[in-house]
Amino acid sequence: MVLMRKVECPRLGVINLDAFGYPNTIDLPDPFSGPPPEADEPPGNFINRSFWPVPVAYAIAPGTWGALAEGKAGAIESIARAAERLAPHCDLIVGNCGGMYYARSLIKTTTPVLLSAIDLLPYALESTTLPVGILSVSKNFTEKMLADHPGLPRLRIVGVGHQPTWADITQDWYVRRPRMCPHDLRKELLEVCLCERERGAFKDIGAVVLECTAMPQFRKDVVAALRLPTWDIAAFAKGLLGG
């Protein structure tokens, strides 16, 4: 008789910046446990474990808040170390900030790691002969991060950080009461999308990438507004894990 081993549910690891209030469960006896999300935690946030269809463990990368935006070596190395800590426990690891793409060359784990939606950019570029749009909080930051990317001439990068609610993303937004309203984030994001689609950078693109991890919760709305294939790290990760 052949004994069948019980197949466990896939497990996800999320690398967090060291922003106030972000979960860090990797040092718990069970890294996939921890306190439930606060009652007012938006359900579309990566740090809300109910957002994910599989058990999730979190590891904070110390020294990254603010420093990662400047591309500092210490912050980049911290992300790689967080991935190494999660790797023995997880089947897939994702980053909770598009800027974690900076650390891609330092990842040496056998566990697959997607640090940023920018990791999906080669596939988006291959999928169409047209330019590809990127939605980020800061256009300048993303342009700097992708300065050496071979596909840069085909990219149309649009930032939403000039919008009032999105501007708060870069501040100490977690402790705000009330929390930033997902409705306001959605409204401002779609306003930018429609404006750029009509007469701006997105007028003649063939696909769009959601770089900021606060955006995947609005993916269906972006698809409806732009009527374009839309790439984001959350949808990709969920698909890889059967969610």
Domains contained in the chain, CATH given: 12-115 (no CATH), 118-231 (3.40.50.1860)
**How do residues 83-139 score in pLDDT, each as one tens digit?**
999 999 999 999 999 999 999 999 999 999 999 999 999 999 999 999 999 999 999
Give SS3 for 205: coil
Round to whole Å and give the CA distance between 121 and 205: 14
Contact present, 189 and 182 (Cβ < 8 Å): no
Helix-, strand-, coil-residue percentages of the chain, each rounded to 5: 40, 15, 45
Predicted pLDDT of residue 173? 54
**Segments in the chain below pLDDT 50:** 1-7
pTM above 0.85, yes or no: yes
Q: Find where tokens 């911290």 sit.
A: 78
Predicted pLDDT of residue 7? 47
Predicted pLDDT of residue 4? 37
Contact present, 233 and 95 (Cβ < 8 Å): yes
